[in-house]
Structure 1
Amino acid sequence: MLLYPHFSYIGFIIIFIIYFFCFLIFAVPVQIWLRKRPKLFSIKQLLIYFSVAFLVTMLLFLIYGNLDFPQVLLISSYHSIVFWLLDSILLNAKKI
């Protein structure tokens, strides 16, 4: 990404802030809902996180006008795994 000729740090920060708020708006209610029935490293919860991350990423890519489906899948996978792992690790730490 740094080798891209039109890369700018300000643009990167702005896009990061937009992604952060979009995922904050959508992921926090999902995490609160999933915390009602806590399970450690549940595949069902991973699929729920993936579907929400996929919808948010697809929405953002449609807004930007650059719909690249493999990239949407990759970004959605990364976000869902991060939320799933953090949720499971924090849930595990909470039980100790």
Structure 2
Amino acid sequence: MESAYPLAAFSLLLALLSSLWPMAARAEGDPAPTYQRERQMQKYKGCHWTDEMGQYIYACIKKNDGFGTHWCYDETLEVFCPPQLEAAKKTADPATPDKPAN
């Protein structure tokens, strides 16, 4: 009489692999993994949310029937934050004096 151990081990391994497979498969266009999202948030950490940004993201989400909210959020940051951060950087830079101080 054969032992049922090899069959049970194989069944357990098959069940484990089949449960892990959906986590490994990603559809094209999935939202960025967490570390990329955190990097983007650090890139735009000085950007302040405005009403125009809210209207832009609302229109994007409405256009996509509620899908792709991550894409709409990322696009909103990419459109509105660089000009806002550049303007803040220009106002933060002190005017250079004509003559250097001794």
TM-score range relative to shorter protein = 0.3 to 0.5
Structure-2-length-normalised TM-score = 0.34
Structure 1 or 2, whichever has the larger Rg, is 2
- Asked which structure has the greater RCO (Cα within 8 Å, sep 6+), the reply is 1
| Structure number having the greater helix percentage | 1
